[in-house]
Amino acid sequence: MAESTRTAYRTCPLCEAACGLELTVTGDRVTAVRGDRDHVFSHGFICPKGATFGRLTEDPDRLRRPMIKKDGRHEEVSWAQAFAAVETGLRPIAERYGAQSLAVYLGNPNVHTMAGGLYVTPLLKALGTRNVFTASTVDQMPKHVACGHLYGSALTIAVPDLDRTDYLLMLGANPWESNGSLATAADFPGRLKAIQARGGKFVVVDPRRTRTAEQADEHLFIRPGTDAFLLFGIVHTLFAEGLADPGRLTPYTQGIDDVRGLAAAFPPEAVAATCDIAPERIRGLARELAAAPTAAVYGRIGTCAVEFGTLTSWLVDVTNVLTGNLDRPGGVMFPLAAHLRPQARPGGKGFRTGRWHSRVRGLPEVKGELPVATLADEIETPGEGQVRALLTVAGNPVLSAPNSGRLDRALGGLEFMVSVDPYLNETTRHADVILPPLDATQKGHYDFSFLALAVRNFASYSPPVFPPDPGGMDECDILAHLILIASGHGAATDPSVLHAELLRKAGAENSAGTPAERLLDAALRAGAYGLSLDDLRAAPHGVDLGPLRPRIPQVLRTPSGLIELCAPPLVAETARLRSALDRPRPGLVLIGRRHLRSNNSWMHNVPALVKGRDRCTLQVHPSDADRLTLSDGHPATVTSRAGSLSALVEITDRVMPGVVSLPHGWGHDLPGTRLTVASERPGVNSNILTDDLLVDPLSGNAVLNGIPVEIKPA
Ligand X SMILES: Nc1nc2c(c(=O)[nH]1)N[C@H]1C(S)=C(S)[C@@H](COP(=O)(O)OP(=O)(O)OC[C@H]3O[C@@H](n4cnc5c(=O)[nH]c(N)nc54)[C@H](O)[C@@H]3O)O[C@H]1N2
Contact 619, 655 (CB under 8 A): yes
| 565: helix, strand or coil | coil
Nearest approach in angstroms of CB 595 to ligand X is 6
Span interacting with ligand SF4, options 43-51, 85-93, 128-136, 446-454, rule CB under 6 A: 43-51
Contact 151, 555 (CB under 8 A): yes
Question: For residues 226 and 205, what is the distance between their CA atoms, to the nearest angstrom?
Answer: 11
Contact 92, 63 (CB under 8 A): no
Binding region for ligand X (CB under 6 A)? 15, 107-109, 113, 135, 138-139, 171-175, 177-179, 181, 205-208, 210, 222, 224-225, 227, 300-302, 305-306, 393-397, 400, 420-423, 425, 437, 475, 591-596, 598-602, 664-665, 686-687, 690, 704-706
Contact 442, 472 (CB under 8 A): yes
H runs (alpha helix) in 339-453? 375-380, 397-400, 404-412
Nearest approach in angstroms of CB 34 to ligand SF4 is 10
Contact 704, 592 (CB under 8 A): yes
* Chain Cα centroid distance, residue 426: 20
Span interacting with ligand SF4, options 45-53, 113-121, 513-521, 655-663, rule CB under 6 A: 45-53
Nearest approach in angstroms of CB 706 to Mo ion is 18
| 225: helix, strand or coil | coil
Nearest approach in angstroms of CB 443 to ligand SF4 is 16
For residue 17, the partner it binds in ligand SF4, ligand X, Mo ion, none, with Cβ less than 5 to 8 A by kind, is ligand SF4
Contact 102, 131 (CB under 8 A): yes
How far CA 601 is from CA of 74, 423, 545, 686, in Å, comes to 21, 11, 34, 11
For residue 126, the partner it binds in ligand SF4, Mo ion, ligand X, none, with Cβ less than 5 to 8 A by kind, is none
Nearest approach in angstroms of CB 581 to ligand X is 16
Among 39, 49, 143, 236, binds ligand SF4 (CB under 6 A): 49
Q: Nearest to ligand X by Cβ — which residue? A: 302
- In terms of Cβ atoms closer than 10 Å to its own Cβ (0-12, 13-18, 19+), residue 75 is exposed
Q: Which of 203, 212, 315, 209 is nearest to 259 (CA)?
A: 315
Phi-psi region of 480 (alpha: psi -120 to 50; beta: other; left: phi over 0): alpha
The interface mask with Mo ion, positions 268-297, x = CB under 5 A, is ------------------------------
Contact 4, 167 (CB under 8 A): no
Q: Which of 700, 710, 706, 707 is nearest to 137 (CA)?
A: 700
Nearest approach in angstroms of CB 46 to ligand SF4 is 5
**Using the rule CB under 5 A, is 139 a contact of Mo ion?**
yes
Span interacting with ligand SF4, options 9-17, 55-63, 387-395, 509-517, rule CB under 6 A: 9-17
Question: For residues 62 and 695, what is the distance between their CA atoms, to the nearest angstrom?
Answer: 34
Applying the rule CB under 6 A, the residues between 177 and 216 that interact with ligand SF4 are 179, 186
Question: For residues 191 and 209, what is the distance between their CA atoms, to the nearest angstrom?
Answer: 20
Contact 407, 398 (CB under 8 A): yes
33 DSSP assignment = E
Nearest approach in angstroms of CB 372 to Mo ion is 12
Question: Given the complex with ligand SF4, which of 463 and 550 has the nearer CB atom?
Answer: 463
Nearest approach in angstroms of CB 335 to ligand SF4 is 17
Residues whose CB falls within 8 Å of the CB of residue 209, separated by 6 or more in sequence, listed in order:
219, 221, 653, 654, 655
Contact 397, 425 (CB under 8 A): no
Among 22, 23, 39, 50, binds ligand SF4 (CB under 6 A): 50
Among 30, 46, 431, 563, binds ligand SF4 (CB under 6 A): 46
For residue 50, the partner it binds in Mo ion, ligand SF4, ligand X, none, with Cβ less than 5 to 8 A by kind, is ligand SF4
β-sheet bridge partners, residue 639: 644, 710
Question: For residues 20 and 36, what is the distance between their CA atoms, to the nearest angstrom?
Answer: 5
For residue 152, the partner it binds in ligand SF4, Mo ion, ligand X, none, with Cβ less than 5 to 8 A by kind, is none
**Using the rule CB under 5 A, is 177 a contact of Mo ion?**
no
For residue 222, the partner it binds in ligand X, ligand SF4, Mo ion, none, with Cβ less than 5 to 8 A by kind, is ligand X
Backbone angles phi, psi at 415, to 5 degrees: -80, -30
Question: Given the complex with ligand X, which of 394 and 543 has the nearer CB atom?
Answer: 394
Nearest approach in angstroms of CB 331 to ligand SF4 is 24
Query: How many residues make contact with Mo ion (CB under 5 A)?
Result: 1
Nearest approach in angstroms of CB 137 to Mo ion is 11
Residues whose CB falls within 8 Å of the CB of residue 5, separated by 6 or more in sequence, listed in order:
24, 25, 26, 31
Question: Given the complex with ligand X, which of 185 and 256 has the nearer CB atom?
Answer: 185
How far CA 496 is from CA of 481, 484, 709, in Å, comes to 9, 10, 53
H runs (alpha helix) in 413-492? 475-486
For residue 268, the partner it binds in ligand SF4, Mo ion, ligand X, none, with Cβ less than 5 to 8 A by kind, is none
Question: For residues 85 and 440, what is the distance between their CA atoms, to the nearest angstrom?
Answer: 26
For residue 421, the partner it binds in ligand X, ligand SF4, Mo ion, none, with Cβ less than 5 to 8 A by kind, is ligand X
Which H helix or E strand runs over 678?
Answer: helix 676-680
For residue 122, the partner it binds in ligand SF4, Mo ion, ligand X, none, with Cβ less than 5 to 8 A by kind, is none
Question: Given the complex with ligand X, which of 167 and 602 has the nearer CB atom?
Answer: 602
Nearest approach in angstroms of CB 693 to ligand X is 15
For residue 393, the partner it binds in ligand X, ligand SF4, Mo ion, none, with Cβ less than 5 to 8 A by kind, is ligand X
Question: Given the complex with ligand SF4, which of 18 and 424 has the nearer CB atom?
Answer: 18
β-sheet bridge partners, residue 204: 170, 219
The interface mask with ligand SF4, positions 14-33, x = CB under 6 A, is xx-xxx--------------
Residues whose CB falls within 8 Å of the CB of residue 148, separated by 6 or more in sequence, listed in order:
154, 156, 351, 352, 353
Phi-psi region of 512 (alpha: psi -120 to 50; beta: other; left: phi over 0): beta
Question: Given the complex with Mo ion, which of 139 and 517 has the nearer CB atom?
Answer: 139
For residue 14, the partner it binds in ligand X, ligand SF4, Mo ion, none, with Cβ less than 5 to 8 A by kind, is ligand SF4
Question: Given the complex with ligand X, which of 135 and 556 has the nearer CB atom?
Answer: 135
Q: Nearest to ligand SF4 by Cβ — which residue? A: 50
Nearest approach in angstroms of CB 49 to ligand SF4 is 4
Nearest approach in angstroms of CB 595 to Mo ion is 14
Span interacting with ligand SF4, options 47-55, 254-262, 550-558, 706-714, rule CB under 6 A: 47-55
Question: Given the complex with Mo ion, which of 16 and 317 has the nearer CB atom?
Answer: 16
Q: Which of 330, 331, 297, 292 is nearest to 314 (CA)?
A: 297
For residue 594, the partner it binds in Mo ion, ligand X, ligand SF4, none, with Cβ less than 5 to 8 A by kind, is ligand X
For residue 12, the partner it binds in Mo ion, ligand X, ligand SF4, none, with Cβ less than 5 to 8 A by kind, is ligand SF4
Supply angle C-alpha 73, 75, 81, rounded to 5. 125
* Chain Cα centroid distance, residue 294: 28
Span interacting with ligand SF4, options 44-52, 394-402, 480-488, 535-543, rule CB under 6 A: 44-52
Question: Given the complex with ligand SF4, which of 442 and 532 has the nearer CB atom?
Answer: 442
H runs (alpha helix) in 4-158? 55-58, 79-97, 114-127, 141-151
For residue 278, the partner it binds in Mo ion, ligand SF4, ligand X, none, with Cβ less than 5 to 8 A by kind, is none
Nearest-Å Rg of the Cα atoms of the chain is 25
List residues binding ligand SF4 (CB under 6 A).
12, 14-15, 17-19, 46-47, 49-50, 179, 186
Residues that bind Mo ion (CB under 5 A): 139
